[in-house]
Structure 1
Amino acid sequence: MSSQAVQLHIKDNHVVMDNGVVQVYLSNPGGFVTRIQYNGIDNLLEALNEKNNRGYWDVVWSEAGSTGTTGTFERIVGTSFNVIVETEEQVEVSFTRIWDSSLKGKQSPLNIDKRYVMLCNSSGFYSYAIFEHLKEWPAFNIPQIRIVYKLRKDKFHYMAVGDNRQRLMPLPDDRLPGRGEELVPPEAVLLVNPVEPQFKGEVDDKYQYSCENKDLKVHGWISQESETNPAMGFWVIIPSNEFRSGGLVKQNLTSHVGPISLAMFLSAHYAGEDIVLKLQPNEPWKKVFGPTFVYLNTLLDHEDPLDLWEDAKYKMYEEVQSWPYDFPASHDFQKSSQRGSVCGTLLVRDRYISDEYIIAQDAYIGLAPPGDAGSWQIECKGYQFWTRANEEGYFSIKNIQSGDYNLYAWVPGFIGEYWNNVVLKITSGCEINVGDIIYEPPRDGPTLWEIGIPDRSAAEFYVPDPNPKYINKLYIDHPDKFRQYGLWERYAELYPNEDLIYTIGVSEYRKDWFYAQVTRKKNDGSYQGTTWQIKFNLHDVDASGIYKLRLALANANVSELQVRVNDLKQLDPPLFTTGVIGKDNAIARHGIHGLYWLFNIDVPSLLLSKGDNTIFLTQNMAIGPLALFQGIMYDYIRLEGPGPFSSH
């Protein structure tokens, strides 16, 4: 590799960062990435697009008081350019735009400083940005912040977002009217007359390539090999989750037909309006997003193009190990020496499983801004720092930015949330050992029966085969079968006349519990809610005790779940209702979970009978054109008998 010094060339309307390996052209003062030269290719970005529509930061914003997850789309246009660092080893440039009150209603009330960094001998470049809202500025909402790269459609046809999630992709032209038929929701398109016949009959939908943050560290494209150019890879590497909202299992978009690659920082996908960043009156806010790394690689003679993916993964591991980077010049990006650490051991206490403490193996443990139990799911203003406990329940979280945090955790195999409302104050260089911390999951009595696995996902339930008319070939015989299009419509085909009935001791949740309680399409084209039944037998009923029904949901989308016991018709109002909850749209977007909900319901013994019993679960919301996507996914259901301290 060349060891040429990094050079910065400043022209009238653009600047060029050049380290002899890669040349990156940035519009001046707008700060758009207009051209990336690498390996003899003049531009990896789509030169057919306008210069502000190739590589850019964008924000979606709305006025205070607005509801929903949409708003005004705004590409971030710099108005002044500054050189921050210019040495042989590093160039860092800044494109800023300053807000003033004359722009009220026309531009998001933010100061934004977009930074681009190139290092010596580096096969790529970094980008990060500092967003700031001053106290006296208008309150407003931010549903989305991201970076977008639009690559050449004549070059990049093979996409990779994971070891088992990569394929040749259709062209953007295949989604146009005449070649593609828009489905519901409109992001999904059936390819009826694609340029390449091999894609005919497939569904293309960007949400089929979504990924949980914990697994979303590298994704991108491999170009076709030609006589003059070997295959190349274009990769977006996201080395940390600290600046992304919603924790490790929040799902975000990756790459999709375009060819497009994204770095998502803030989005409402799979969470809904609850995770929209809402700045209140007199609320100052500042946050650094990134840096993320665009990595470029190329093949030596006659190697397998898929080696580029393996190399990109190796590079990703290097970048993760280098976090937090030591090179960003902004004082707002905290270096390793300014950060602190927290360690400890998480144990579970559930006396109905064991008299001993249970090791919280593989638990998710994190620091997020102070809130309530589970508030990290929708936290989007600050930074979050997460890890997984080892086989001893030990955890260590390093490089935590200074500030105030609560400690949060959840343990696969157990319901509920650990939350410690003691504020942990992280300061430069601090090392906090919290020792043994004990999580006592909700539990009132012994398990009488259970359905599913408490892991915040509906993946263990019955996911049907897709309609053969709506296939994505990648997900045939794939563990992520739930990503196929249209699975919600299979419910009415499997249960044409009556809803799902599940019998404890006879039914098996992997085969007999449909992955989502969706609405039912009627003959007139409208939709209606559905009522599922759980049938079970009790040898005896403790007349003086209270039974407990635990309902853990992995997803809810404009749904109301009502619970009745043994009498569907008479019990009105129901024994329990969630009220209308959820806007995470995971059913329509092929996610097997959205936000997690836990409901703990007292079931008086007088409602139960010795012998046969039935619990009725009614999702009664079915309103408007998107009623087919209203519904819930269950994570886990358990009925507990009265505890040992009753007179039983």
Structure 2
Amino acid sequence: MSSPGVKLYVQDRYVVMDNGTLQVTISNPDGIVTGIQYNGIDNLLAVENVEVDRGYWDLNWSLAGTKGTRGKFDRIESTSFEVVVENEDQVELSFTRTWDQSLEGKVVPLNIDKRFVMLSDSSGFYTYAIYEHLKEWPAFILNRFRVAFKLRKDKFHYMAIADNRQRYMPLPDDRLSYRGQALAYPEAVLLIDPVEPEFRGEVDDKYQYSCENKDNRVHGWICNDPPVGFWQITPSDEFRSAGPLKQNLTSHVGPYTLAIMHSVHYSGEDLLLKFGTNEPWKKVLGPVFIYLNSLSDPEDDPLSSLWEDAKEQMRIEVEGWPYTFPASEDFQQPDQRGNVSGRLQVKDRYVCNENIPANGAYVGLAPPGDVGSWQREVKGYQFWTRADEDGYFCINHIRTGDYNLYAFVPGFIGDYRYDVIITPSAGYDIYLGDLVYEPPRDGPTLWEIGVPDRTAREFYVPDPSPMLINRLYVNHPDRFRQYGLWERYADLYPDGDLVYTVGVSDYRKDWFFAQVNRKNDDHTYTGTTWQIKFKLDCAATKTDTYKLRLALATAHAAVLQVRVNDDANSPLFSTGQIGKDNTIARHGIHGLYRLYNVDVPGNLLLEGDNTIFLTQANNTSPFQGIMYDYIRLEGPASFNGNKKP
């Protein structure tokens, strides 16, 4: 049967897009999605909520100079409506809000154009937005922007984020004060008397369902009666900030599903978009696809069938990027974009005399900046790929503009930057040839702890308290997502801090995944000092300099101090206070990557037994601390008297 095409109904207070498969109702001129009708359900959205609290774009913003990351919440309600495209194949609608000086201090100084697109023969709809700040407008700060959909709690009970991250979920009612107990922060609730007894004793926390951008392609909810899936599909990361490893929320109890383009989660104030006076800016956010599916065969298992179909649709959307249908001239079409390719190798003479192919390297284009600046870059576009086993990479469909090429290579510390500015142009391929990354290295490896992969995943993650579990993450690869693991440190080390002996200890079992504070009986906290014990087979000379590489996976309001062979002296090195990642509290295994290179004078080291003391000195909160990615001690370049353990 052929599609009836897309029909548009414009009313005084609403606009309805209908392609025969679904109907989407949007408030006029606000641009809020108030209803989605599909598969016999009159409205998939939270009918118990007021209309403005169902499907919407929102943001958080602050006046210039404001401290912190909270900001003012703005559920973006537009003031004018326009039909951009209307034919049998496509409807595209524009809902705009224009800023002027009369709104200063009241509304974020942005022109905002929200777009909604419905195509024929499509079981869903698209939404994207164009944000613009003109040069003469005031300075301000953007904290977060996203699209949110709130679904019917009587219908959608099963949530899926990945093959191994899906389950039936508690109800939002279970988080109410008479059914749940708030824990150390309001997002985490212990379910005491849930509506469904199966959830009693579990912890619900939206941060347990966060996901890295590179893996955050499809997530959503399933209704069993009738079988219906509601999915948010993000086909590209180009409009998301801070690169492929940035973590964002996905779906969580509500039932809610989110398309987050920017947030400060797992990063803190480093990721605020701070606009100065006379700073013009424009960015296209999206499109993202809201996909609805139902069973083609009523005998199929709805949970697995709808999830597998959603993944297949995700693959179709990714392969179709960049889309050809957006009508905004600010969204660059495929023929307006360029491609960049090349080969990346690693040169580390203490590993291999020959260049090493950068197998699996993350290679990307981001606005020009310092080495590693991509992970804090929040205003422009980024384009990333993975190199193959021989180090070859190809980055396609790049918007025109000026970029640096950045990379990091699993198995090696540090960041690579190709210093020449790259300017892709429409329809052209740029081949960069062979590029060589020389990671930080002064001498041979005497010992190392961990794996340089920018996470603390390989270290020891304890079981949670049996009173504070999420059953999804029991015997799960992501066991670090359990609540309250910071308190397990004192349980495992009740009488003294961690001591790691090189050549004897196993970092997979003997290195706690986070250096956290110890909770005292009076509910105060004590900083912790970890020891690394190692032997040198021959004495260092006074003129020798060793190098201690400290790669951190995350830090939160922490001060890391290094001492050598005497923990009473002034530290040889101190980071000062670093980080506002809040990764420990939010069940991440990494935040922002930091690399410190510490010179260790030879006169501090002894023939035989030596100890490095690592102290986390800030001690006012359970969430202060650091996660290590990798630690290495290098000998002097001429050193050859110590065998690698």
Shared fold by TM > 0.5?
Answer: yes
Q: 1:635 corresponds to which residue?
A: 629
Q: 1:239 corresponds to which residue?
A: 235
Distance 1:357 1:172 in 2: 55
1:467-514 per-position Cα deviation (integer Å, ceiling 9, x unaligned): 000010000000000000000000011111211000001110000000
Report sequence identity in percent: 66
Instruction: Tell me the secondary structure at the aligned position of residue 423 of structure 2.
Output: strand
Instruction: Tell me the secondary structure at the aligned position of residue 198 of structure 1.
Output: helix
1:272-324 per-position Cα deviation (integer Å, ceiling 9, x unaligned): 11011111111000000000000000013121012000000000000000000
Q: 1:188 corresponds to which residue?
A: 188
> Which of 479, 491, 494 in structure 2 is aligned with 1:493?
491
1:47-84 per-position Cα deviation (integer Å, ceiling 9, x unaligned): 11010000000010001111221100000011000000
One-letter identity of the residue aligned with 1:215: D
> Which of 264, 270, 282 in structure 2 is aligned with 1:274?
270
The question of whether the paired residues in 2 share the 8 Å contact of 1:488 and 1:516 is answered with: yes
Q: 1:308 corresponds to which residue?
A: 306
Q: 2:606 corresponds to which residue?
A: 609
Distance 2:499 2:8 in 1: 68
Distance 1:41 1:455 in 2: 46
Distance 1:506 1:185 in 2: 39
1:424-457 per-position Cα deviation (integer Å, ceiling 9, x unaligned): 0121112110100000000000000000000000
Distance 2:611 2:390 in 1: 41
Instruction: Tell me the secondary structure at the aligned position of residue 361 of structure 1.
Output: coil
Q: How far does residue 421 in structure 1 lie from its aligned partner after superposition? A: 2.2
Instruction: Tell me the secondary structure at the aligned position of residue 471 of structure 1.
Output: coil
The question of whether the paired residues in 2 share the 8 Å contact of 1:268 and 1:276 is answered with: yes
Instruction: Tell me the secondary structure at the aligned position of residue 78 of structure 2.
Output: coil
The question of whether the paired residues in 2 share the 8 Å contact of 1:545 and 1:647 is answered with: no
1:140-199 per-position Cα deviation (integer Å, ceiling 9, x unaligned): 000100000000000000000000000000000000011010001210000000000000
Asked if residue 59 in structure 1 is aligned to residue 46 in structure 2, the reply is no
One-letter identity of the residue aligned with 1:640: E
Q: How far does residue 420 in structure 1 lie from its aligned partner after superposition? A: 1.8
TM alignment of 1:559-638, pairs within 5 A: 559-569=558-568, 571-572=569-570, 574-623=571-620, 627-638=621-632
The question of whether the paired residues in 2 share the 8 Å contact of 1:211 and 1:252 is answered with: yes
Distance 1:646 1:503 in 2: 21
> Which of 406, 425, 428 in structure 2 is aligned with 1:427?
425
The question of whether the paired residues in 1 share the 8 Å contact of 2:148 and 2:258 is answered with: yes
Instruction: Tell me the secondary structure at the aligned position of residue 312 of structure 1.
Output: helix
- Of 381-390 and 538-547, more deviation after overlay is shown by 538-547
TM-score, normalised to structure 1, is: 0.98
Instruction: Tell me the secondary structure at the aligned position of residue 622 of structure 2.
Output: helix
TM alignment of 1:24-103, pairs within 5 A: 24-103=24-103
The question of whether the paired residues in 2 share the 8 Å contact of 1:2 and 1:21 is answered with: no
> Which of 628, 635, 638 in structure 2 is aligned with 1:644?
638
1:536-575 per-position Cα deviation (integer Å, ceiling 9, x unaligned): 0000123031100000000000101000000111x21x10
Q: Which 5+ residue runs of structure 2 have no aligned equivalent?
A: none
- Residues paired across the two proteins, number: 639
Asked if residue 288 in structure 1 is aligned to residue 318 in structure 2, the reply is no
Q: 1:556 corresponds to which residue?
A: 555
1:611-634 per-position Cα deviation (integer Å, ceiling 9, x unaligned): 0000000000122xxx10000000
Q: How far does residue 5 in structure 1 lie from its aligned partner after superposition? A: 1.1
Distance 1:644 1:342 in 2: 40
Distance 2:319 2:280 in 1: 32
The question of whether the paired residues in 2 share the 8 Å contact of 1:2 and 1:20 is answered with: no
TM-score, normalised to structure 2, is: 0.98
Q: 2:246 corresponds to which residue?
A: 250
Q: Which 5+ residue runs of structure 1 have no aligned equivalent?
A: none
1:260-283 per-position Cα deviation (integer Å, ceiling 9, x unaligned): 000000100111110111111110
TM alignment of 1:434-583, pairs within 5 A: 434-543=432-541, 544-569=543-568, 571-572=569-570, 574-583=571-580
TM alignment of 1:44-443, pairs within 5 A: 44-225=44-225, 230-299=226-295, 300-305=297-302, 306-443=304-441
1:513-542 per-position Cα deviation (integer Å, ceiling 9, x unaligned): 000000011121111211000000000123
Q: How far does residue 646 in structure 1 lie from its aligned partner after superposition? A: 10
1:389-424 per-position Cα deviation (integer Å, ceiling 9, x unaligned): 001100000000000000100000000000122110
Distance 1:40 1:646 in 2: 75
Instruction: Tell me the secondary structure at the aligned position of residue 500 of structure 2.
Output: strand
- Of 194-203 and 178-187, more deviation after overlay is shown by 178-187
Q: How far does residue 647 in structure 1 lie from its aligned partner after superposition? A: 12
Distance 1:644 1:289 in 2: 53
The question of whether the paired residues in 2 share the 8 Å contact of 1:218 and 1:237 is answered with: yes
Distance 1:43 1:647, change over 3 A: closer
- Of 296-305 and 366-375, more deviation after overlay is shown by 296-305
One-letter identity of the residue aligned with 2:567: L
One-letter identity of the residue aligned with 2:434: D
Distance 1:328 1:541 in 2: 68
Instruction: Tell me the secondary structure at the aligned position of residue 482 of structure 1.
Output: helix
Distance 2:539 2:204 in 1: 53
The question of whether the paired residues in 2 share the 8 Å contact of 1:5 and 1:89 is answered with: yes
The question of whether the paired residues in 1 share the 8 Å contact of 2:443 and 2:639 is answered with: no
The question of whether the paired residues in 2 share the 8 Å contact of 1:236 and 1:262 is answered with: yes
Distance 2:4 2:419 in 1: 53
Distance 2:220 2:378 in 1: 26
Instruction: Tell me the secondary structure at the aligned position of residue 315 of structure 2.
Output: helix
One-letter identity of the residue aligned with 1:633: M
The question of whether the paired residues in 2 share the 8 Å contact of 1:132 and 1:285 is answered with: yes
Distance 2:348 2:538 in 1: 24
Instruction: Tell me the secondary structure at the aligned position of residue 628 of structure 1.
Output: coil
- Of 636-645 and 9-18, more deviation after overlay is shown by 636-645
Distance 1:493 1:23 in 2: 55
Distance 1:429 1:391 in 2: 27
Superposed CA RMSD: 1.1
The question of whether the paired residues in 2 share the 8 Å contact of 1:241 and 1:384 is answered with: yes
One-letter identity of the residue aligned with 1:360: A
Distance 1:371 1:207 in 2: 30
- Of 355-364 and 61-70, more deviation after overlay is shown by 61-70
Instruction: Tell me the secondary structure at the aligned position of residue 316 of structure 2.
Output: helix
